[in-house]
Amino acid sequence: MVRAAERAKHPATSSIWLDSEKAGRRRKPDQPDGLDRDKIVETSIRMLDAEGLAKFSMRKLAAELNVTAMSVYWYVDTKDDILELALDAAFREVELPDPDRAVSWRDDLRALAESYRSMLVRHTWAAAILNTYLNIGPNALQVARAIQDIAIATGLPPAGQAGAITAVFQFVYGFSTTMGNFQRRCDESGVTQDEYYAQAMAAFQKDPELMDTMERSKPIIEARGGSTVAEMWTRDFAFGLDVLITGIEAMVARAEESSA
């Protein structure tokens, strides 16, 4: 069993899910009514969404719950425990393919990637800590299994499945992180995404050093389509995902030719 002290010494290979005592800890009779791990996690997610990762603390969490810090520490040992629990709870929002029907890998991959993107954009803090933890909670594992099923259904040989799915979900991660950073910048500036984009484009056009780049980009911008930033995000993401799916299809065809 991995205790909190050991997790602190070895953060890269530690997880609350590897501590059987902590993973199953529930409310003691003398704890405040209505306080349990689910409420702590729910409140943490709400605070992280509202204020971001940098401002989140155990002290603020206890105050938001209207309990003492020691009451929170009955359920978790560290802030890392809470963040790991919150991250796994966020994975619950990713919509998975229906397990009772045959896998349609192209449609399932598009749907899962889109749902994953939406979750990361809703919870920008999740993208920031995604690679900090082992992500072996129950919800993260369900998503991982769905991804494995899709990888197998592509028809790629086992040697290529991991690389193909990594390419897709690294694209989703990077795209979602960019979206989240842009939204956060707009929020901090007190403008909408469309207003920020319009201001940036106007500023670029006034700078002589940027005019050449702007002119070269003009056909791409015009062909990109979309009257709002949200529409541009949607179209760019869909096209990028189609490029990756087409690449997987090409690699499947190459593998079939090699084995023929």
* Residue 11 pLDDT grade (very low, low, confident, very high; cuts 50, 70, 90): low
- Mean pLDDT of the residues in the chain: 89
So where are the chain's domains? 4-91, 105-190+225-259
What secondary structure letter does DSSP report for 137?
S
What secondary structure letter does DSSP report for 30?
T
Phi, psi dihedrals of residue 190, rounded to the nearest 5°? 75, 30
Q: Position of tokens 């002119």? A: 215
Residue, of 64 and 11, whose pLDDT is higher: 64
**Beta-carbon contacts of residue 257 (< 8 Å; ≥ 6 apart):** none
pLDDT digits (tens, 9 = 90+) for 80-139: 999 999 999 999 999 999 988 888 999 999 999 999 999 999 999 999 999 899 999 999
% of the chain surpassing 90 pLDDT: 70
Terminal C-alpha separation, the chain: 50
User: Tokens for 82?
Assistant: 């809470």
Residue, of 212 and 128, whose pLDDT is higher: 128
Determine the average pLDDT of the residues in 15-28.
69
The answer, yes or no, to whether residue 22 has pLDDT greater than 80, is no
Within 13 Å and on the Cβ side, how many CA atoms surround 230? Answer: 3
pLDDT of residue 215: 82
pLDDT of residue 119: 97
pLDDT digits (tens, 9 = 90+) for 215-230: 888 888 787 777 899 9
CB 79 within 8 A of CB 47: no
CB 57 within 8 A of CB 79: yes
pLDDT of residue 45: 98
Residue type, 109: L
> DSSP 3-state assignment of 190?
coil
66 dihedral zone (left: phi>0; alpha: psi -120 to 50; beta)? left
Which range of 5-19, 71-85, 107-121 scores highest in mean pLDDT? It is 107-121
Determine the average pLDDT of the residues in 50-71.
94
**Superfamily in which the 105-190+225-259 domain is placed by CATH:** Tetracycline Repressor, domain 2 (1.10.357.10)
The answer, yes or no, to whether residue 239 has pLDDT greater than 90, is yes
Whether 4-91 shares its CATH topology with 105-190+225-259 is answered: no
User: HEC string of 66-96?
Assistant: CCCHHHHHCCCCCHHHHHHHHHHHHHCCCCC
Fold for the domain defined by 4-91: Arc Repressor Mutant, subunit A (1.10.10)
The answer, yes or no, to whether residue 30 has pLDDT greater than 90, is no
What secondary structure letter does DSSP report for 177?
H
pLDDT of residue 109: 97
> DSSP 3-state assignment of 53?
coil
Residue, of 214 and 169, whose pLDDT is higher: 169
* Residue 2 pLDDT grade (very low, low, confident, very high; cuts 50, 70, 90): very low
Separation of alpha carbons 32 and 64, rounded Å: 14
pLDDT of residue 260: 73
pLDDT of residue 247: 97
Rg, C-alpha atoms of the chain:
22
CB 111 within 8 A of CB 150: no
Summary count for the chain: helices (H), strands (E): 13, 0
